[in-house]
Structure 1
Amino acid sequence: MEPQLSHRVEGAVATVVIHHPAKRNAMTAAMWRALPPLLDELAHDPAVRALVLTGEGGTFCAGADISTLRGSPDETPGLAVAAEEALAAFPKPTLAAVRGHCVGGGSQLAAACDLRLAEEGALFGVTPARLGIVYPASSTRRLVSLVGPSTAKYLLFTAELIDAGRALATGLVDEVLPEGELGKRVAELTRILASRSLLTQAAAKEFANGRTDRDAHWAAQARGSGDTAEGVAAFLERRQPRFSWTATG
């Protein structure tokens, strides 16, 4: 099978799978290009309320396919940043499910997700120093926001890999699961995410990502959504709420 991004939608959860097992799911230029329009399609699907990004088989993503850098060394970093930014801007909760290697461009994609869950044995690395590549400013800031300046410098300066336990301790991942338990936990957590108010989540995501000038916009969305009334009614009636606001408006 050719290197590709595949996806499926089950219930309210979309899953995007990085598929290039011959090279530990390294991203080709075509795959970087394909991610933003795929995310745009899923963002506009009102049935989708959460998104999972993962890799085929036992690894997440080993970064960019280095063979593509020889032919276009200046193009691939820009494609990776565009894909990363599209993922960070996805208006619904995103979760990276990490097994095996999550390195280079793979770590860029994982960091752009809202949450990161890893299986024991996963390895993480930010490796542009091995190739003499300048890591993008936006990617560096995102990494610093997750792990702090000191750990970000360690990862960038050394290009060393760290294990899942250290990634958890530094804040690079949110949970580490025993081998064989990651899929179950991802399914459980995405069910929770999909059951909550997408209005609350979308506003919180914007604010947490530094967009602090849209209070009036989100107040208007809340007034017109019915989510608050539904949430209060469900609480008083001791039932699960049925939130109706979608990111598509």
Structure 2
Amino acid sequence: MSEPTRAEHLRVTRDGAVTVLTIDRPEKRNALTADMWAALPGVLAGLAEDPAVRVLVVTGAGPSFCAGADIGDLLGGPDAEDPMARLRRDNLAAQAALRDFPRPTIAMVRGHCIGGGVELATCCDLRFTDPTGVFGVTPAKVGIVYTPTSTRQLVQLVGPSTARYLLYSGELVDAATALRTGLVDRLLEAGDLAGEVRRFAEVLASRSALTQRAAKEIVAAIGSGGDGETEAARWYRETVASGELAEGVAAFTERRPPRFPWGRTPSSPPSAGPGRDPGRGRGEAPA
């Protein structure tokens, strides 16, 4: 089921526990306008507040993921001394909203993933691509200083040396190179991408949302230089108090799929239960 968002060219599709956010501007290789950057935090906030959204897939319409920011908006700000001020603010807010999204996020990348497209992909928890994937970090081609936030995300994935290679040169790399350097997590065969993303998203939706949320916060804390101990202690208390741990142990002992209670409203049914295999996709795969 598709639904409108607060911005043109951003499309939300829901299918059970998996929600797909599609950048829908294929005639421009899904380049993001200033209005699209500005609207992304609100769209993501609405999805984050919905407990039925267990996994978020971010992708692009047509043969490309996202070719970055629309070049026509780069100098469109009202301040002549800092014409990118508004765009930079909205870009960073969009990155933060995606990076801090409380459930698992997967970037499903076909074709061009350039500049701002890489920023969005690196803010997702995982990145899946196919042989058409082409990746580039291109500020050196237009004289832009890549923000510390975007640089940190890139360095955490590929390391300082590859980050320098990409940032200094602006050269495009293929999907095999992206996999080898850690820029993407999975490289699927042609034609398998959507089906495997859907299958894996269903697996994630069947697991403990509390465990996933805890892992997300602990990994972020460690990536920021902390030890994650405070976050781990808080989430451990929650897994006991909420009954999540008890349900997981009971399900394992009884050899049945777990019905994890955490994070569900009374009206939202479990995403996995008896008679349903969470590893098998159901319905149309994300496109």
In structure 2, distance between residues paired with 1:127 and 1:3: 25
**How many matched pairs?**
247
TM score, norm. by length of structure 2? 0.83
In structure 1, distance between residues paired with 2:11 and 2:30: 12
**Residue in 1 aligned with 2:232?**
215
**Residue in 2 aligned with 1:137?**
148
**Residue in 1 aligned with 2:75?**
70
In structure 2, distance between residues paired with 1:217 and 1:33: 33
**Residue in 1 aligned with 2:169?**
158
In structure 2, distance between residues paired with 1:120 and 1:3: 29
In structure 2, distance between residues paired with 1:17 and 1:203: 27
Extract unaligned runs of 5+ from structure 2: 1-6, 78-82, 223-227, 266-287
Does the residue aligned with 1:214 lie in a helix, a strand or coil?
Answer: helix
In structure 1, distance between residues paired with 2:219 and 2:238: 18
Q: In the alignment, residue 134 of structure 2 is paired with which amino acid?
A: L
In structure 2, distance between residues paired with 1:41 and 1:134: 31
**Residue in 2 aligned with 1:127?**
138
Q: Which runs of 4+ in 1 moved over 2 A?
A: 211-217
Cα distance, 1:33 vs. partner?
A: 1.1
What is the CA RMSD across the aligned residues, in angstroms? Answer: 1.4
| Alpha-carbon spacing, 1:247–1:61, altered in 2? closer, same or farther (3 Å) | farther
Does the residue aligned with 1:46 lie in a helix, a strand or coil?
Answer: coil
Question: What does the per-residue CA deviation read over 1:120-156, in whole Å, with 9 as the maximum and x for residues that have no partner?
Answer: 1210011111111111101111110000000011011
| Conserved? CA contact 2:52–2:264, under 8 Å | no
Picking from 52, 58, 65, the partner of 2:63 is 58
Q: Which has the higher helix share?
A: 1
Q: In the alignment, residue 199 of structure 1 is paired with which amino acid?
A: L
Does the residue aligned with 1:179 lie in a helix, a strand or coil?
Answer: coil
**Residue in 2 aligned with 1:47?**
52
**Residue in 2 aligned with 1:12?**
17
Extract unaligned runs of 5+ from structure 1: none
| Alpha-carbon spacing, 1:3–1:25, altered in 2? closer, same or farther (3 Å) | farther
Cα distance, 1:78 vs. partner?
A: 2.2
Picking from 101, 113, 126, the partner of 1:115 is 126
Which moves more between the two structures, 6-15 or 71-80? 71-80
2:96 counterpart of 1:85? yes
2:212 counterpart of 1:195? no
In structure 2, distance between residues paired with 1:17 and 1:224: 37
Which moves more between the two structures, 151-160 or 223-232? 223-232
Structure 1 or 2, whichever has the larger Rg, is 2
| Conserved? CA contact 1:91–1:247, under 8 Å | no
In structure 1, distance between residues paired with 2:248 and 2:151: 38
In structure 2, distance between residues paired with 1:172 and 1:247: 33
| Conserved? CA contact 2:240–2:246, under 8 Å | no
TM score, norm. by length of structure 1? 0.96
Cα distance, 1:3 vs. partner?
A: 4.7
In structure 1, distance between residues paired with 2:171 and 2:203: 35
Q: In the alignment, residue 234 of structure 2 is paired with which amino acid?
A: H
Q: In the alignment, residue 70 of structure 1 is paired with which amino acid?
A: L
Identity, in percent, stands at: 54
In structure 2, distance between residues paired with 1:194 and 1:217: 23
Does the residue aligned with 1:209 lie in a helix, a strand or coil?
Answer: helix
Q: In the alignment, residue 156 of structure 2 is paired with which amino acid?
A: S
Q: In the alignment, residue 120 of structure 1 is paired with which amino acid?
A: P
